[in-house]
Amino acid sequence: DAKTTQPPSMDCAEGRAANLPCNHSTISGNEYVYWYRQIHSQGPQYIIHGLKNNETNEMASLIITEDRKSSTLILPHATLRDTAVYYCIVRVGGSNYKLTFGKGTLLTVNP
């Protein structure tokens, strides 16, 4: 699986959009970009994933650049409960569900 690079920490004001970047310059054509988050002392929670096109669900939006070498997770209206470590993971879609986690980005949402 391709390696990802994320900033170690970011701050965001409550109610504002949080934009979390991820670089994955060695991504292969059959690798998907997944985002998970982990609130303190809980298990990771799936947020969103995509291959080429931008994706949106009830939690977030995922913007993938045209060359697929980077992506941005957008939380449109961050709340205090969104404070968590956010992991960007690149993996081949399919039968092997191994997830390779890095250290992620600690997002702190401030009142």
Partner 1 sequence: ETGVTQSPTHLIKTRGQQVTLRCSSQSGHNTVSWYQQALGQGPQFIFQYYREEENGRGNFPPRFSGLQFPNYSSELNVNALELDDSALYLCASSPQTVLNTEAFFGQGTRLTVV
Q: What is the 8-class DSSP label of residue 94?
A: S
Contact 88, 4 (CB under 8 A): yes
Binding span for partner 1 by CB under 8 A among 14-22, 36-44, 60-68, 76-84 = 36-44
Contact status: 46 vs partner 1 (CB under 8 A): yes
Specify whether the CB–CB gap between 108 and 10 falls below 8 A. Answer: yes
Site string for partner 1, 49-68 (x = CB under 8 A): x-------------------
Distance CA 80, CA 62 (A): 20
End-to-end CA distance of the chain: 37
Selected binder of partner 1 within 104, 105, 107, 109 (CB under 8 A)? 104
Q: Is 81 in the site for partner 1 (CB under 8 A)?
A: no
Q: What are the residues binding partner 1 (CB under 8 A)?
A: 32, 34, 41-46, 49, 85, 87, 93-104
